[in-house]
A and B are shown apart, each in its own frame.
Chain A
């Protein structure tokens, strides 16, 4: 049993089931991120944990207490909303203590709690202002203050950074992570931004179409995606997915891909899982992340199996820290992420180094990982 148990929870609107048998156990102090494109059901799930939406079947328990029929205010949770949802008619101080006031906490205790939180978030000088007089970042802090002051069992965040500009978003992201490390609270956090998911979480649930596609640590999700959706959704630029054929040559398995000049590119696979056997001489989807395709000098020194391939460069995009290099493989643009000073030119053939340790194969029909 976890700290927050989501047991086979479904959500239906009439005959339409929008969330199918979600099963997640969250441990105390964990930072779980629900990530997925819009309409995947992540916000619905969060609202169900909060008690703002009913549960069609299954159970949600917080600290071993089933809360299916418990009012939101009695679940000992706090929520930070995307729009911050600060009460516009109240000062920042009132906003922060409104929840305590509703619970009947005496004023002296409320003021003490407010002072603590204000100090923690460095908003002491804002307490007498109205939300309308605050900047986006300040509103975000106040919204977190309102959640923190209640000292809840579980924090729920609903896309809290989506309304901030790019720079502030990165700053607040770091701040949320610091806060989590400092307070060790249990957090469930919804976002559509895979970078937020990767950077903040201790575990990620990737959701799509009402299903949890994969639940795991950021590294598991990134390196061992369960299916094609997870592979392409997580990571930016997205994982390259190429049509390939699995062939056996000289006693080793190879992924055979069509090159830009019609030539065959054969990439040897070492330590192939047993499951690959069934796909010999069949079509597969070959997935490889941009950073696993480099120039030979820039290849990962710890990689065990680096395969060389020569192909024509179509475009180079210097991005400062890296240079993104496009090349056509099996009729599609394939992106490689190289050192900034890699000597690569558009229109010329180039020897790419593919780190095959990081390559993954998918079944073209089911789109599941072959492993």
Chain B
């Protein structure tokens, strides 16, 4: 009987399965170890770290390093903590993600459902923008930001990230909408819906998974970006990544490792949060198109 034999197959592989899980768990621990050490040390007084024991749990638990990193630590020359820079990063990443995602969705919609001459070329050029190294555009971009009079501001960073993000977001949405039934668009045209009505009422409501994928991707990239942040936003408008660097490199007094660890976790937290909240869509979005919507 097929059922019995498949049952046996499962049982006979139980030993193999045990080892597979053992190895997987070891790998997971290995990867989690740095984060664990960061977390543990961010909750210790500095003396415990300088005393030489990084691995051990704190003898005295404290959230003082976190409070310091957030609001009083020395960033460059100002004792402001990371808070203003965290706000800078939010003010940069949220609009940049939103704008590049919406623009990508519109591009994908036009490229797949409103074919025009040269569409393939334009898509090719947009794709090409995904592969241009950041360093190449630094100087031209600085010039343009200067001309627009937004150099050194959060607006400038938003523009840079939107421009860079459109390539990827277009790629995502184009491929998603290529599998979107064109008959739906045609039905809506016959029903009298216009270009934007079809987009808002028909396309976007069915785009949940790909919007999640696009947002995760853009948010992670934009939040973690250091090069553009360091190049185009100075001083008070620097993003979190640049501020973290300044925190760690501040040369006055003793090196407060516990504060540095707390700051680093703060800088990483939003991307982690985005993955936890929307991560399951990520896999779903990558699989999209295999099943007709």
The residues of B that contact A72 with a CB separation of less than 8 Å are: 186, 189-190
Chain A: interface residue total (CB-CB under 8 A): 22
Assembly CA distance A81 to B182 (angstroms): 11
- Residues on A lying within 8 angstroms of B by beta carbon are 50-52, 71-74, 77-79, 81-83, 85, 87-89, 98-99, 102-103, 146
Q: With A87-B202, A88-B206, A88-B293 in contact, do A99 and B190 touch (Cβ < 8 Å)?
A: yes
> Are B183 and A85 interface neighbours, CB within 8 A?
yes
Show 19 residue pairs from A and B whose CB-CB distance is below 8 angstroms, ordered by the A residue: A51-B190, A52-B190, A73-B191, A73-B192, A74-B192, A79-B186, A79-B187, A79-B190, A83-B183, A85-B186, A87-B184, A87-B187, A87-B202, A88-B184, A88-B206, A98-B193, A99-B190, A102-B193, A146-B187
Q: With A87-B202, A88-B293, A89-B205 in contact, do A99 and B183 touch (Cβ < 8 Å)?
A: no
The 9 closest A-B pairs by CB, nearest first: A73-B192, A99-B191, A89-B205, A102-B192, A85-B183, A85-B187, A81-B183, A72-B190, A85-B184
Chain B: interface residue total (CB-CB under 8 A): 17
Assembly CA distance A52 to B186 (angstroms): 7
> Are B190 and A77 interface neighbours, CB within 8 A?
yes
The residues of A that contact B191 with a CB separation of less than 8 Å are: 73, 98-99, 102, 146
Interface contact tally, CB-CB below 8 A? 57
> B188 in the interface, Cβ–Cβ < 8 Å?
yes
Known: A52-B190, A87-B187, A88-B206. 9 other contacts (CB 8 A): A73-B189, A78-B190, A81-B183, A83-B181, A88-B293, A99-B191, A102-B192, A102-B197, A146-B191
The residues of B that contact A81 with a CB separation of less than 8 Å are: 183, 186-187
Shortest Cβ distance from residue B293 to the other chain A in the assembled complex, whole angstroms: 6
Q: Mark B159-197, 1 if CB is under 8 A from A, else 0.
A: 000000000000000000000010110111111110001
The residues of A that contact B184 with a CB separation of less than 8 Å are: 85, 87-88
Interface centre among B191, B201, B293 (most CB of A within 10 A): B191
The residues of B that contact A98 with a CB separation of less than 8 Å are: 188, 191, 193, 201
- Closest residue to B197 on the A side, CB-wise? A102
The residues of B that contact A83 with a CB separation of less than 8 Å are: 181, 183
Assembly CA distance A10 to B86 (angstroms): 63
- Closest residue to B208 on the A side, CB-wise? A89
